[in-house]
Structure 1
């Protein structure tokens, strides 16, 4: 048995459906892989775990991975698969707020779990719609950010439409979403699998088997939505064990697991990644765009 320690981007959720399906069916063990899932901790991200040797493979968004790669003395971590083919995050406001487009967010309050400086992505979203990008950032004490706008403590939030958006829908809260791609802001792949150069070089055969088994799990999940929801009910944390919510969440995610171009799971389009990396450089978020071939690879996928 070959062991793979997988550092999650957060708690088990609908984005991890294929992984959870493969675990449920025992497919990793059949393939000779002992898979250990490691939950995300607030004190240590998945890239930090992989770099420290506490995990072999990690999950994170391209944004975080690019930021981490650009840090001084960081390892050249490399994306080896994408869990989903489209960015499912969005800026969200209440349908009843009267805010019908991003430009109307000027002068409004944007809530997040933690507040740093200006967020170039949000600024660009507003400016590309003709606004100034003048928005006030506030910190929310709510785990479920949609409650912050529902209680009129903020005007806008950032969320995953297929998770927090599904939670809001299940709670009867109607939101309006502004998606980055609709306003010319490249954001690329929301959740990618990545590994270290050492593990990639020394365990490429194991990684190929792991990814093939994971792809099998995602294909099964797409073909068996009702059964997949039942597996999610078993695997997610107690606070998320709500069948109505999980049905909404999986229905919102299912169309994006398999590429319409390749008919398979996991593949990343170099052109799409390059567009995002170029945009980062243009926004002053990096010293220069990373080389795509040095940042992502599809070579381990079938």
Structure 2
């Protein structure tokens, strides 16, 4: 059977400065807003420049990026990396910014790679790293709403980011739980970027659910759910996998095929630095939280204790799981598996979710899963 809602009611223990190595066995290793040009000759002392467009306000999905900046990991690689934070002035998604050459890399979901593969011939986006492993997102409602499982979303409001496949995925979840899928979808302004209140909080839960402007939305559990809990608001969480949806990697780092072909060293150097940054955040979650706050300087990061709690809840997901604690190998950052991508894409096609702009089903052979992602540029990659 399908699992009922998860009730988020406990607060992660937040300590003072600590290293993960002090709590678990240490394993040995086997922004500015606006547009930035994609790749070019670097500033003095740098061999190249690159830019990373975030998918949301700065949060603990991005801690490894800010750690890499703070600790000089990009500088060690000879690359000057800037971070582009979305905001109310934006009219393009991160993926489209990269497709149009405004940024080198975009943080987005695996669906973005699928979407570009099925609607554009000239520009394809390829996932070059998974920022986190496992399942980290969910559909949520307030526990006070009484909507404690997906099928109860029939006739209820859902605040949508207007992702191309988003509403259909939510509808399928409701149907998988025995509902009709008659959800009242309504759009956030420019994917949420166009709303000062949402961007200031970094949370649709704060700006919509708590304000009774909607009944449900899609969140990163370790970010918006922890924030809500920290503020005394309890949520029901419906994870996609619990309701028969084999969700893909999210968030991922995307680049164009052209960047991979023409500037492979920029990609490798960026990923080398990010691997160090995310490994640091894995080992030092509290310090990583402090760096995120000091580096990003975003209004949504004004409560350090919440950022620390969020960091502690996600740091374990930065690396792949270690099967045996006695194994000398440690987890790996960024790697993606073909099987997970294939199951996700197959599901999207089997359920008729991938359609063109006219609502016509896209043929399955349109998408070659192997072309949607690559591990080739990761520092841990071996052919």
* TM-score with structure 2 setting the length: 0.73
Counterpart in the other structure of 2:69: 23
1:297 aligns with 2:343: no
1:43 aligns with 2:120: no
TM-superposed CA distance for 1:138, in Å, is: 3.5
- For these two proteins, the number of residue pairs brought into alignment is 302
Counterpart in the other structure of 1:129: 177
Give secondary structure in 2 for the equivalent of 1:91: strand
Give secondary structure in 2 for the equivalent of 1:14: coil
Greater shift, 112-121 or 269-278, is seen at 112-121
Counterpart in the other structure of 1:278: 346
Per-residue CA shift, 1:241-287, capped at 9, x if unaligned? 21122012212221211011671100011111111111121232141
Q: 1:173 to 1:270 in 2, by over 3 A?
A: same
Counterpart in the other structure of 2:80: 34
Give secondary structure in 1 for the equivalent of 2:128: strand
Contact 2:113/2:124, CA 8 A, preserved across alignment: no
CA distance in 2, matches of 1:117, 1:18: 28
Question: Residues 161-172 of structure 1: matches in 2 within 5 Å?
Answer: 161-172=221-232
More helix by share: 1
CA distance in 2, matches of 1:186, 1:44: 28
Flag the structure with larger Rg.
2
* TM-score with structure 1 setting the length: 0.92
Per-residue CA shift, 1:176-205, capped at 9, x if unaligned? 100101111122111111212221112223
CA distance in 2, matches of 1:88, 1:45: 21
Greater shift, 219-228 or 144-153, is seen at 144-153
Q: 1:151 to 1:8 in 2, by over 3 A?
A: closer
CA distance in 2, matches of 1:113, 1:76: 22
1:160 aligns with 2:220: yes
Contact 1:88/1:161, CA 8 A, preserved across alignment: yes
Greater shift, 101-110 or 28-37, is seen at 101-110
CA distance in 2, matches of 1:117, 1:21: 32
CA distance in 2, matches of 1:72, 1:57: 18
1:244 aligns with 2:321: no
CA distance in 2, matches of 1:272, 1:181: 12
TM-superposed CA distance for 1:164, in Å, is: 1.7
Where in structure 1 are there 5+ consecutive unaligned residues? Answer: none
1:220 aligns with 2:268: no
Per-residue CA shift, 1:126-179, capped at 9, x if unaligned? 111111112222456762432433344433222221222222112110111001
Give the superposed CA RMSD: 2.2
Contact 2:115/2:164, CA 8 A, preserved across alignment: no
1:288 aligns with 2:363: yes
Q: 1:27 to 1:118 in 2, by over 3 A?
A: closer
Greater shift, 123-132 or 232-241, is seen at 232-241
TM-superposed CA distance for 1:114, in Å, is: 6.0
Counterpart in the other structure of 1:263: 331
Per-residue CA shift, 1:61-118, capped at 9, x if unaligned? 1112211222133412211111011232211112233222212222222234669998
Give secondary structure in 1 for the equivalent of 2:294: helix
TM-superposed CA distance for 1:238, in Å, is: 2.4
Q: 1:80 to 1:167 in 2, by over 3 A?
A: same
Where in structure 2 are there 5+ consecutive unaligned residues? Answer: 1-46, 189-194, 323-329, 356-361
